[in-house]
Chain A
């Protein structure tokens, strides 16, 4: 047994310490470097933070360039798919448009009435500053869902700002660099935001799942949540403005988890709006 144990030790030592041809560092020294990076990084050591910022700026830009061929393929694939669906969709959309036109008039009236009533009850109105940003990269790991946008602290992006795709909210800013920022999408496992479920005004928390849908958690009134109910931001915690549409409930069975299908398709984000909401004084 003794020689085989020796062989094992020699092979392992050689694997760790031997520098191969054209290798400047041994594996052991590089492993040692990685561990130092990890430990100092977790203590927010300044030098490591500067290194990280430097790498971040380089990587985000190069990631965007490197993604161009794949994005081109992806776009072509989606375009072909969309062409196949076009005729059926057109017919459906025509009929829906007529209904929506009528609803829009009603909606306009409701908005004006709401503003008038808010003034009467002396509630505040919300004004927002919007920054349009381009999505540089949507390449997370299979387990983490985030995107990188091309606006950073230079363009006055701050942590916690809401990120929207049209009228729908898609996430919030969690990391701000000088020329870029990272946005945590609502579908990420670590994302949790306060929401209100209409029509029954159920307050709850929307959690990401790491997939393309979210789930409703921490609500005592599960029986009031109906299929096809619409989820809006509740405005609790002053995180986001109240009433931004997020998605629609998709419940097939009462015992199932309360799935939320997002209005926005997070895999198709090209441009997003980064919004900060401020309270405006009533005049």
Chain B
């Protein structure tokens, strides 16, 4: 009986891992600033939201993504609602790609992801710079986009591995 309860608990935790990762990533940016790397930053939340909206949309509820966006705005000090909007546009793009895709491939996903983050970062940059009068560095944004795109390959494989070896195998048991 206890063993059954433990298994259920582990199963629930494993299913909630993407959600936990999302909230940890917005509350604690994975920016590796302690390494003092000058031209390095990437947005882990974008990768996580896009991947799970595309592959397992039931793992991350849209309402949680919306709340994570609000949290992110408070943490980084941008106008409340902006990150939510950006995250949700990312979800729309992922959902659209899911609807039109017959044979999924990582390369197509990556190219679509690149296009999407280019659009949403442009939107973010334009709105912060021209509507909310924030000063931003264009070069930093480009660096962030490039690394986010490159890291999609890595994290996509890691998430695939996690889903197939941990979540599914646990479900099968």
Query: Residues of A with Cβ closer than 8 Å to B?
Result: 7-8, 10-12, 14-16, 18, 20-27, 30-31, 33-38, 41-42, 48, 51-52, 55-56, 59-60, 62-63, 66-67, 70, 73-74, 77-78, 137, 139-144, 146, 175, 182, 189-190, 210-212, 267
Contact = CB atoms under 8 A, between A and B. Distances in A.
12 contacts: A15-B96, A15-B98, A20-B62, A31-B92, A42-B131, A55-B80, A66-B24, A66-B28, A77-B35, A142-B144, A175-B77, A267-B33
A274 to B, nearest CB: 18
A30 B134 CA distance: 25
B140 A38 contact: no
A37 to B, nearest CB: 3
A136 to B, nearest CB: 11
A10 B69 CA distance: 27
B27 A25 contact: no
The list of the 10 closest CB pairs from A to B, nearest first, reads A37-B81, A142-B41, A15-B95, A34-B85, A38-B81, A11-B99, A189-B135, A141-B76, A74-B34, A15-B96
Contact of A59 (B75, B85, B137): B75
Contacts of A51: 80
Contacts of A189: 135-137
Contacts of B140: 142-143, 210
B74 interface: yes
A27 B66 CA distance: 9
Contact of A55 (B31, B74, B89): B74
Interface of B: 23-24, 27-29, 31, 33-36, 38, 41, 57-58, 61-63, 65-66, 69-71, 74-82, 84-85, 88-89, 91-93, 95-96, 98-100, 131-132, 134-137, 140-141, 144
A77 B34 contact: yes
Nearest to B95: A15
Contacts of B131: 42
Nearest to A210: B137
A43 B173 CA distance: 54
Contacts of B144: 142
Q: Is the interface of A mostly helix, strand, loop or mixed?
A: helix
A12 B97 CA distance: 9
A127 to B, nearest CB: 32
A78 B33 CA distance: 12
B2 to A, nearest CB: 28
Contacts of B78: 141, 144
B33 to A, nearest CB: 6
A36 B79 CA distance: 12
A144 to B, nearest CB: 6
A26 B136 CA distance: 32
A52 B38 CA distance: 33
A144 B92 contact: no
